[in-house]
Amino acid sequence: MCMRGGIIITISHLKEAMAPNFNINEEYKLGKFNFDFMAEFILKNEKYFLNKKNVVWGYENREYVLAKKIETITQGDVDEIQKIAENAMDEFVNLTENHMSTHITVFVESSDIDENIKKNIKNISIKKSYMWGIKGWSDVRVIVFDYINKDLIFNKSSKEIIDFYKEVLI
């Protein structure tokens, strides 16, 4: 993280780190919420027999990252993040025959985060299984970065990706 004229540009660092692997959409709007950017990653794997017309199997994994800076996060913001994350599942999950998983990460940069808010962020759990997992699943990861204290607050679903954020931001 670096400072330019007193402005912390964490979101820019995150965007730069994701750019080689993600499609980046600037100033993305989802519902009433405006995000600084939305990053999209799609992985498709298929196995063929003799030629590409004879697909033996295939699967698709998707990941979306919605990033926003909020000066001081409140409980109302946390509630809004939960609503937006649930709406994002409806918007981003595309149940094709090859859908395996969709991960939606909501990243928020903020400062001076209250202990109750930290606890509420850690307790966010939004997961869906489609047709008992046969058609795949989706989950929501919530990561809040306190840029003053250089602390990452995240929910349980974020544990598998938090090392990437630590490397980029801390």
Contact yes or no for 68/39 (Cβ under 8 A): no
Q: Are 37 and 25 in contact (CB under 8 A)?
A: yes
Of the two residues 18 and 2, the one the predictor is more confident about is 18
Domain ranges of the chain: 3-169
Q: What is the pLDDT of residues 15-50, one digit of tens each?
A: 999 999 999 999 999 877 889 999 999 998 888 888
Name 104's Cβ contacts closer than 8 Å, sequence gap at least 6: 63, 64, 66, 85, 88, 89, 92, 138, 139, 140, 141
The pair of structure tokens assigned to 77 is 């913001």
- Put simply, whether the predicted model's pTM sits higher than 0.85 gets the answer yes
Each residue of 62-85: pLDDT tens digit?
999 999 998 889 999 999 989 888
